[in-house]
Amino acid sequence: MLIVISPAKSLDYTTAPGTSNFTMPEMLEDSEKLIGRLQKMSPKQLSKLMGISANLGELNFQRFQSWQLPFTPENAKQAVLAFNGDVYQGLAAETLSEDQLQLAQTKLRILSGLYGVLKPLDIIQPYRLEMGTAMKYYGSKNLYEFWNPAITKKINEAVAESGSGILVNLASNEYFKSIDKKKLKAEIVTPEFKDLKNGTYKMISFFAKKARGLMTRFILENNISDVDSLQAFDLEGYNFNPRLSKPENPVFTREN
């Protein structure tokens, strides 16, 4: 079983990593091409390209100017520990054991607008570049076109390595679109998380993102390899809801 998740806009490069183990991103050559283009852009141009504030444009201008190879533990950090958004709050990778982190190297991939596909312990330098960015490069009109063939190939390889032929999609729609599903050699399972609001179960973005991280942790902690075992997920009040579920879309609900 392979899990895919999205990256996060929030980053943590101040907390020391709890592990000294690390690996290198496998698509750095492509990342370097994108960085070369981004380094030629002004803060104002970056703000316009990414639809962000002037302050964030300046911050990411400085990040891109500082980006350099080779990556080392001194100038980069493990991706699963560097990302710090809602999904990663649920995953709480900093509390995983070394054995669980090594298992994650086989069972988990992070999709990225700059790095393509990341293993959890791949070290990365700070950045912001969302997959939906309409950045034209190398004949591609956006990052989806730029990354799609390479990302699909890497995910197929990782699914094969995981040994089960199952891909658990815990990524956002924006990032999962970077994979060509027609060429994906896997059974795709997309869990959904809904909270009871005004008498109806609804997907609430903040809670759903954290739940994706919780589900990722649940799979790693229990070394789950089959779809049916996902139904046992019961963290933070969520429970499997058979009435709302389909085989490819197990739904987990909770009542606050």
Q: Per-residue pLDDT for the chain (256 aa), expressed as one digit of tens each?
A: 999 999 999 999 999 999 999 999 999 999 999 999 999 999 999 999 999 999 999 999 999 999 999 999 999 999 999 999 999 999 999 999 999 999 999 999 999 999 999 999 999 999 999 999 999 877 888 999 999 999 999 999 999 998 889 999 999 999 999 999 999 999 999 999 999 998 999 999 999 999 999 999 999 999 999 999 999 999 999 999 999 999 999 999 999 7
Whether the Cβ atoms of residue 169 and residue 230 lie closer than 8 Å to each other: no
Q: Are 41 and 61 in contact (CB under 8 A)?
A: yes
Task: Write b or e for each residue in 182-204: b if 16 or more Cβ atoms lie within 10 A of its Cβ, otherwise e.
Answer: eeeebeebbbbbbbeeeeebeee
Angle between helices 143-162 and 98-107 (to 10 degrees): 120
How far is 72 from 125, CA to CA, in rounded Å? 9
Which residue, chain included where needed, has tokens 């599903």? 181
Tokens of 249: 């879309």
pTM score above 0.85: yes
- Nearest alpha carbon to residue 137 among 117, 114, 118, 158: 114
pLDDT at 136: 83
The candidate with the shortest Cα–Cα distance to 161, out of 134, 135, 185, 137, is 185
User: Are 79 and 118 in contact, with CB atoms under 8 Å apart?
Assistant: yes
Q: Spell out the residues 6+ positions from residue 82 whose beta carbon is closer than 8 angstroms to its own.
A: 11, 12, 13, 124, 126
Please tell me the predicted confidence (pLDDT) of residue 139: 81
Contact 25, 118 (CB under 8 A): yes
Residue type, 181: K
Of 209, 255, 247, the C-alpha closest to 91 is: 209
Sign of CA pseudo-dihedral 156, 158, 162, 163: positive
